[in-house]
Amino acid sequence: MIVAEVVRSGFVESVHHGAVFGKHSRGDVTSPVFPRSSNKPLQTVGMLRAGLVPREPADLALISGSHFGEPMHIRRVREILAAAGLDESALRCVKGLPLSEEARTGWLRSGGGPERILMNCSGKHAGMLATCVANDWPLDSYRDPKHPLQVAIAETVTDLVGEPIAAVGLDGCGAPVFGFSLTALARSFQRLVDAAPGTPERLVADQMRAHPELVAGTGGDDTVLMGTVPGLLVKAGAEGVVAAALPGVGAIAIKIDDGAARARTPVLLDALREFGAEPPAISAEITGGDEVVGEVRPVR
C-alpha cells in the first residue's frame, strides 16, 4: 500500500509503497523482510549473551550502530580491537568511506581511500571479533553463518523476535543478516526497551539511547531522534527499513518496498506521533533550483 508520496509544486509526482507496524498498522507486516542494519542491536545482545565483555559500556552503542566514519568512531573501533589484542587488519567487513560528508571529504583530501575500518559496520565487526577472542573461537571465519559466533547470534535473534528466522543472507558488510516479519522486528525492539535493568537487552538499549552519536553520527536521523525524544530507541537499516520503540508505549517497524531512504523518516515521524510522541521536524524537502518546492510526506 502507499505509505508516502513525493509532492513537487503541489503535484504528486511519485509514491512509495510499503508496510508499517505501529499503533495503526498497515500493509503486510507478517511476511519476512531483511531488516538490514536494524538487526544490529539484536546481534549485539547475542554477542553479550555469548560472552562479550565491552571495554566500556558506550562501546555497545557503536557495535549496534551504523557509524558515520567520524574520528570519534574510528578511534573507538580501534580501541575495541586493541582491547581484544587485535588491530584493523582482523576486520573482514568490506572497504568503505565515511558516511559523513565532512569526514569523507577530509579523508579523501588527505590522500586516503576506502578502508575496512571506515565502513559503517566496522563497529559491529569489531564487536564480533572481540566476542570470538573471549571464547577462543576462530577469527578468520567469524562471518560464516556456521561459525559458533553466528550460530549463537542467530539463537538470540530467534528468541528476541519470537518467531523462526525465515531466511539468512549476506548483508552489505559481509556478515549474516536474518529475515523475519516487521511484527517480529517491532516485538524485539519492545523487548529491549522494556527489559530489566542490567540485562543484555537493556544494556544495549540504554547505551544506544545514551550515546546516539555513536549509533549514527553528527546530524543523523537516529542521532537526532534519540537525542530529543525521551526514552526512544531507534535504528535504521538499508533498503528503507527502520525500527523504533518507546518503553511501556509501543514499537514501530517500517519497510519501504522500493528501498528508498527518503520515505523512511517521514513515515517514522508520523508513526511516532500516532503514539503521542513529539519528534522533531526532520527535513524531507524537495527542491527546484534553489527553492524548496515540496516534500516527501506520509500517507495514512
pLDDT along the chain (300 residues), means of 10: 97 98 97 98 98 97 98 98 98 97 96 97 98 98 98 98 97 97 98 98 98 98 98 98 98 97 97 96 92 95
Give the strands of the sheet with 167-170, arranged side by side. 32-33, 176-181, 167-170
pLDDT value of position 44? 98
Q: Which residues pair with 5 in a beta bridge?
A: 15, 297
Q: How many CB atoms lie within 10 A of CB 48?
A: 20
Residue with cell 549463537: 152
- Going by C-alpha positions, the residue among 264, 214, 248, 288 that lies closest to residue 35 is 264
Structure confidence at residue 283 (pLDDT) = 83
Q: Helix, strand, or coil here: 91?
A: coil
The position carrying cell 572481540 is 130
**DSSP letters along 111-166, please?**
T---BGGGSTTHHHHHHHHHHHHHHT--STTTTSTTSHHHHHHHHHHHHHHTS---
pLDDT of residue 61: 98
Find where cell 578502508 sits: 115
Alpha helices per DSSP H over the chain = 40-49, 59-63, 71-83, 101-109, 122-135, 148-161, 182-194, 200-210, 212-215, 221-228, 261-274
- CA of residue 52 relative to chain centroid, distance: 20
What is the C-alpha R_g of the chain? 19
The Cα–Cα gap between 15 and 1 comes to 10
In this structure, are residues 209 and 42 in contact, taking their beta carbons and an 8 Å threshold?
no
Contact in structure between 60 and 54 (CB atoms under 8 Å): yes
Residue 279: predicted pLDDT: 95
What pLDDT sits at residue 288? 95
